[in-house]
Amino acid sequence: MEGIQNPIHRTVEEVFSDFKGRRAGLLKALTTDGQKFFLQCDPEKENLCLYGLPNETWEVNLPVDEVPPELPEPALGINFARDGMPEKDWITLVAVHSDSWLISVAFYFGARFGFGKNERKRLFQMINELPTIFELITGNAKQSKDQSANHNSSRSKSSGVKPRQSESHTKASKMSPPPREDDESGEDEEDDEQGAVCGACGDNYDDFWICCDACEKWFHGKCVKITPAKAEHIKHYKCPTCSTNKKMRA
């Protein structure tokens, strides 16, 4: 990846911004730009790597010549496996390696600039609130994980209510960001529940959300073009996908 200058990141926020930019680029390669990415990974070429860049773009290129490299390198030779397995499995494999690379780059910056225990923890928590590329590719981004799943299971199974919604299910709750469950021990940071991710963009950072009454998925208001003022007058909200499906059935 010669000629590409990597910026210097000295704060947790700057490293996280770099992480999100590279992640967005990799997602484009494996989803919207999937055909272009597939064609560039010719097995007849040398060992190739998939790079996510901070400006939300991507490239397939040879690894750098310098040893050790300035940054950790992505998985080498992804092109060799392209025609040796089903395309979906290959994309999933690349997604897993891409997730690992993103983490390694973020913590490389953390080590290089002397992040302490609290800074590393905060960086990981910020990263961990985003669904992984693998989860988005395979459609598992909304499943609870590990401690979060165990923490919510007794409540959801016994009451039949989703963990992020109360029994009252008022309009106000549908318009508020999906809440995070606090750790029963009172240590919020140790159980940093991810909450919901937007059904449109897959992210979970925003001030205003709305929940679809049909599919029960949460959406950023801006992603479905619903403002707080407009939501006040909506009794039963249906997301664009559910609305389209209803029209098709009609």
Residue 195: the pLDDT is 55
Is residue 113 in a domain? yes
The residue among 116, 136, 156 that closes a domain is: 136
Residue 235: the pLDDT is 80
The residue among 88, 109, 136 that closes a domain is: 136
pTM, to two decimals: 0.56
Question: How many structural domains are present in the chain?
Answer: 2
Is residue 183 in a domain? no
Please give the Cα distance from 122 to 139 (Å, whole number): 27
The residue among 91, 119, 136 that closes a domain is: 136
pLDDT digits (tens, 9 = 90+) for 113-148: 899 999 999 999 999 999 999 999 998 865 444 444
Residue 199: the pLDDT is 74
Q: Are 215 and 97 contained in the same domain?
A: no
Residue 219: the pLDDT is 83
Q: Are 15 and 131 contained in the same domain?
A: yes
Sites in the chain below the pLDDT cut of 50: 1-5, 143-173, 181-194
Q: Are 223 and 108 contained in the same domain?
A: no
Is residue 160 in a domain? no
Domain containing 17 equals: 10-136
**Helix, strand or coil for residue 143?**
coil
Q: How would you label 120-152 residue by residue, b for 16+ Cβ within 10 Å and e otherwise?
A: eebbbebbebbbbbbbbbeeebeebeeebeebb
Residue 57: the pLDDT is 96
Please give the Cα distance from 130 to 116 (Å, whole number): 22
pLDDT digits (tens, 9 = 90+) for 200-224: 777 766 577 888 888 888 888 888 8
Residue 125: the pLDDT is 95
